[in-house]
C-alpha cells in the first residue's frame, strides 16, 4: 500500500508510561497530538502507539498506518475495533542489541550457576559445584525471528549448543532448527536453557505451561532445565512455573514479562528463591533510536515506498 498525502498529523497514544520523550522526538518533524479533540479527527494519518485505548483508532477516518513503538503488537491487535490499515512493528538494531545483551546475561548466569554462588557468598561458604563448558549446555530458543535469530547467533559465538523452534521451517547455520507442533517435543527434549522470544498470539498464549516444562531435558549437565521468558507474560502460566520449580522439574527461571504487569506485590514469583525477576526491561524501546526510524518510514511511505515490517494480522505478529 502506498500513499501520496503530505505531512499527515500523528496521534501518539501511549498507556502505562510518560509519552514526553516520544512526543519530543516525533514532534520535531511532525504535528503530533496526544488526544483527539472531537469524536472523529480526519487530520490524523498515522498513529504511534503502545497499548492504545480500545476503540480510539476507529475514530480516525483518514488513518494510513499504525506504528507500534515495540516489536510486539499484541497490545495493538487486542483492539476489536482496529481499523483495517497496516500495522508496523519495530525491527531495529538497537532493540535487537538490547535483547541479545539480556539473553547473554541470563543464559550465562544460569549456565555459570550464579544462584549457587550468590547463595553461598551470603553464607560465607567456600563451595564449588561441577561446571559444564558451554558446548555441554544446550540453549533452546523459542521464536527465531529478528530477536531470536540474533540471540541464537550470540549463543553460538559463546560456544553453546543451540536449538531453535519456529512456526515455519527455518535453516540457520549452526542451529538445530525445529518447527511446528511436531517439532516442539524433540526441541524441548534437547534443551537445557529455554529462551522464550515468541510473540503473543492466539496460537502461543499460555504455551509455557507445566506440560511444556516437563518435556525439557532433565538429565543435562546443569542438574535441571532453566527457563528465560523475555517474550510476553501471556505466553506463560505462572502457577505452572511455580509448580515445576517446586517439583524440581525446573531448576531456575528468569522472567522479564508477566501475565499481569506490573507484577502483583502478592505474587509468589517475587519471593521464590529460584526466580530472577526484571520488570519488562530486557529490550526497552528508546525514542531517540526508534523515533527517527518511524518518522523515516512515514516519509518513505509518502514518497511512494512500501511500509517495512508490516504485521501479518491473521498470524498475529
Catalytic residues: 232, 280
Q: Which of 220, 287 has the CB closer to ligand OXD?
A: 287
Q: How far apart are the first and last CA of the chain?
A: 18
Q: Which of 231, 291 has the CB closer to ligand NDP?
A: 231
CA proximity to 27, closest of 294, 307, 285: 294
Q: Is 147 in the site for ligand NDP (CB under 6 A)?
A: yes
Q: Which does 65 bind (CB under 5 to 8 A by kind): ligand NDP, ligand OXD, none?
A: none
Among 166, 191, 236, 297, binds ligand NDP (CB under 6 A): 166
Report the distance separating Cα 282 and Cα 71, nearest Å.
12
* Cell output for 315: 498470524
Q: Which does 114 bind (CB under 5 to 8 A by kind): ligand OXD, ligand NDP, none?
A: none
What is the nearest approach in angstroms of ligand NDP to the Cβ of residue 191?
14
Q: Is 317 in the site for ligand NDP (CB under 6 A)?
A: yes
What is the nearest approach in angstroms of ligand NDP to the Cβ of residue 195?
11
What is the four-CA torsion angle of 96, 97, 98, 104, rounded to 10 degrees?
110
Q: Which of 161, 311 has the CB closer to ligand OXD?
A: 311
* Cell output for 234: 501471556
Q: Is 197 in the site for ligand NDP (CB under 6 A)?
A: yes
Report the distance separating Cα 290 and Cα 287, nearest Å.
5
Contact set for ligand NDP, span 245-274 (CB under 6 A)? 256-257
* Cell output for 233: 507474560
CA distances from 266 to 222, 237, 269, 270 (A): 30, 16, 9, 8
Q: Which does 231 bind (CB under 5 to 8 A by kind): ligand NDP, ligand OXD, none?
A: ligand NDP
Among 14, 63, 65, 71, binds ligand OXD (CB under 6 A): 71
CA proximity to 65, closest of 17, 5, 146, 18: 5
CA distances from 247 to 97, 185, 214, 224 (A): 35, 20, 10, 11
- Looking at the DSSP assignment, which residues form a beta bridge with residue 68? 49
Q: Is 72 in the site for ligand OXD (CB under 6 A)?
A: yes
- Given the rule CB under 6 A, which of 36-44, 105-113, 212-220, 279-287 is the region that contacts ligand NDP? 279-287
Site for ligand OXD, rule CB under 6 A? 70-72, 90, 283, 285
Amino acid at each position: 500500500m502506498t500513499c501520496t498525502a503530505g505531512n499527515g498529523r500523528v496521534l501518539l497514544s501511549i498507556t502505562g508510561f510518560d509519552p514526553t520523550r516520544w512526543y519530543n522526538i516525533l514532534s520535531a518533524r511532525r504535528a503530533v497530538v496526544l488526544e483527539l479533540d472531537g469524536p472523529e479527527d480526519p487530520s490524523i494519518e498515522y498513529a504511534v502507539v503502545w497499548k492504545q485505548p480500545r476503540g480510539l483508532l476507529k475514530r480516525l477516518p483518514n488513518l494510513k498506518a499504525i506504528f507500534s513503538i515495540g516489536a510486539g503488537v499484541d497490545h495493538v491487535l487486542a483492539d476489536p475495533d482496529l481499523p483495517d490499515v497496516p500495522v508496523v512493528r519495530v525491527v531495529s538494531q538497537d532493540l535487537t542489541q538490547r535483547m541479545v545483551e539480556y539473553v547473554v546475561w541470563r543464559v550465562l548466569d544460569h549456565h555459570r550457576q550464579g544462584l549457587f554462588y550468590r547463595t553461598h557468598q551470603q553464607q560465607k561458604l567456600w563451595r564449588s559445584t561441577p561446571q559444564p563448558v558451554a558446548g555441554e549446555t544446550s540453549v533452546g530458543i523459542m521464536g527465531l525471528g529478528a530477536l531470536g535469530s540474533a540471540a541464537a547467533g550470540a549463543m553460538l559465538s559463546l560456544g553453546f549448543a543451540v536449538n531453535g523452534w519456529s512456526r515455519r521451517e527455518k535453516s540457520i547455520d549452526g542451529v538445530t532448527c525445529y518447527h511446528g507442533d511436531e517439532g516442539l517435543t524433540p526441541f524441548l527434549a534437547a534443551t537445557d536453557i529455554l529462551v522464550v522470544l515468541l510473540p503473543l498470539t492466539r496460537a502461543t498464549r499460555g504455551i509455557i505451561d507445566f506440560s511444556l516444562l516437563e518435556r525439557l531435558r532433565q538429565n543435562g549437565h546443569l542438574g535441571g532445565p532453566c527457563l528465560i521468558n523475555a517474550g510476553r507474560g501471556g505466553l506463560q502460566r505462572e502457577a505452572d512455573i511455580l509448580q515445576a520449580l517446586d517439583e524440581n522439574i525446573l531448576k531456575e527461571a528468569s522472567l522479564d514479562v508477566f501475565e499481569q504487569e506490573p507484577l502483583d506485590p502478592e505474587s509468589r514469583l517475587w519471593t521464590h528463591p529460584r526466580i530472577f525477576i526484571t520488570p519488562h526491561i530486557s529490550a526497552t524501546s528508546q525514542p531517540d533510536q526508534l523515533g527517527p526510524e518511524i518518522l523515516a518510514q512515514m516519509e518513505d511511505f509518502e514518497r511512494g515506498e512500501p511500509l517495512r515490517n508490516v504485521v501479518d494480522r491473521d498470524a498475529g505478529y
